[in-house]
Chains A and B, each alone.
Chain A
Amino acid sequence: MAESVRGALDDAGLTIKDVNGLCTTGIGMSGMGIVGFCDYLNLTPNFVDSTSIGGSSFVAHTAHAAAAIHAGLCDVCVVVYGSTAASSRFAIGTGGAVGMMSGDPCDQYEQPFGPTTVGAYAMIAQRHMHDYGTTSEQLAEVAVTMRLHASMNPVAKYREPITVQDVLASRIISSPLHLLDCCIISDGGGALVITSAERARDLKKKPVYILGAGETVRHAARGKRDFLEIAAAQSGQLAFERAGVAHKDIDMAMIYDSFTITVLATLENLGFCKRGEGGAFVSGGRLRYDGDFPINTDGGGLSSNHPGMRGIFLVIEAAKQLRGECGPRQVKDCKIALAHGTGGALGTRHSGATLILSNQ
């Protein structure tokens, strides 16, 4: 994490002495982990935010940092995440953290029945297939595209191309999701530096501007939820309204891809296609870096990295695309990008955080 902070500050042309805001949370951290991280880096910031809403946390942190700077609470805020999820052998999707009874009131009504993260997403996929005829082949296209992008990213973990048949032939983890419908588990870390537009003007790199943001949660809604309506419907609408841009203005998107179904449900709920049309929308190479609607050009959580939570990498890749730093996987004329993080599980309860960014 400290190395990520150093890298981001070097990139911006700032030093640790300039930092007076910090946002972080983590899967291995204690509830007060942010204070421990300040201890490690010997920081005494004027603003701290440890909002912990799952993988989307760092997308939300980015918006919170911008709001804090706008409100005068700090000047330079670092958002950081890191974990050794793979080396530590965390069973993120199929046991471990989700399989434990916490003090949350909902847990005693769910944990006795064996919910896993994969299982909770699988139930969304099952219902989507039932209602709209979505197929495993369509979901597999998402995984195939992410692997293509990973093959063009030298730091991606899995870079060997795969086919739709490979996805369908991989074993079922929780029906209807196969192994290759699920994100990988990797180590990894990343950091962002957020500051005011004025301060950014004379820094080392051309800045990326935050145009708008939104966040919310969805849950079982006292037993009455429409499970195919997800947090992205609300957070996305808020972000678009606040940014003052339209869907057609988005040149590329970073969509949290914990599972292939996450991408499909998120694109529908953000309004890039109608509900039920996600299967057709993700087909035919549309999501490729050179397609009509490029997403997750780094290879996503499905192939590049997923160190337990991935929100930070959504914002990092979107910023790189807007700066034209993506080499062979660069999206042409990329001026406005969207990043959407999903935290938790679509099938039980989750958070959603949307950011819209621009290089102008």
Chain B
Amino acid sequence: MAEQTQAKKYAKPLPHLDEESRPWWEALQRHELYIQKCRECGDTRYYPRALCTNCMSANTEWVKCSGRGKVYTFTATYQNQTPGFRESLPYIMAYVELDEGVKMLTNLVDCAPEQVKIDMPVEVVYEDVTPEVTLAKFRPAR
């Protein structure tokens, strides 16, 4: 019941899970973060795709991430009329460069906008926003 109330209240956009993306989102539900690696050419990629963009191979390995990275760039948003976000201003959006070498668009949490610096070490936090969906956000590394 508590979960249903939470799901009803969550107003921000939610992902459409599909065949390509489901394994990634299901891993997040387990509080695990993965990127993909091509078993043929070794190229890593984010976001998840059915094929390697370098060699078009579908032979894909899921690589578990350390959950650590650094801030590549960020912005604190003070104006967004979209329901869900307009109630949570300001919020911090960032590209985090994972130790595994890919940049992810995400939110920084547990810190004020003025505390954020580019190259700042961060670590993943898993936010269970609905019973089905967990988001990978990041906070200053502890």
Contacts and interface: CB of A to CB of B under 8 A. Distances in A.
Given A106-B47, A112-B13, A122-B75, A348 B103 contact: no
A113 B45 contact: no
A103 B86 CA distance: 23
B35 interface: yes
Contacts of A174: 75-79
B82 A99 contact: yes
A17 interface: no
Contacts of B72: 127, 227
Contacts of B47: 105-106, 109, 220, 223
B23 interface: no
Contacts of A222: 43-46, 49, 53, 102
B15 interface: yes
A325 interface: no
Nearest to A100: B13
Interface of B: 12-17, 20-21, 35, 43-47, 49, 53, 72-82, 84-86, 88, 91, 93-95, 101-107, 113, 118-119, 129, 133, 135, 137
Interface string A194-227: 0000000000000000000000000010111101
B13 A105 contact: no
Interface string A145-180: 000000000000000000000000001111111000
Interface of A: 91, 94-96, 99-101, 103, 105-116, 118-119, 122-124, 126-127, 130, 171-177, 220, 222-225, 227, 347-348
Nearest to B78: A172
Nearest to A113: B107
B82 A109 contact: no
Contact of B85 (A99, A122, A176): A99
17 contacts: A95-B80, A99-B80, A100-B13, A105-B49, A106-B47, A109-B104, A111-B15, A113-B106, A113-B107, A114-B77, A124-B73, A127-B72, A175-B78, A222-B46, A223-B35, A223-B103, A223-B104
B126 to A, nearest CB: 13
A222 B77 CA distance: 25
Nearest to B113: A175
A95 B82 contact: yes
B13 A126 contact: no
B74 A123 contact: yes
A109 B105 CA distance: 7
Contact of A223 (B13, B46, B93): B46
B79 to A, nearest CB: 5
Given A127-B73, A172-B78, A348-B105, 4 more contacts: A116-B80, A126-B74, A175-B78, A222-B49
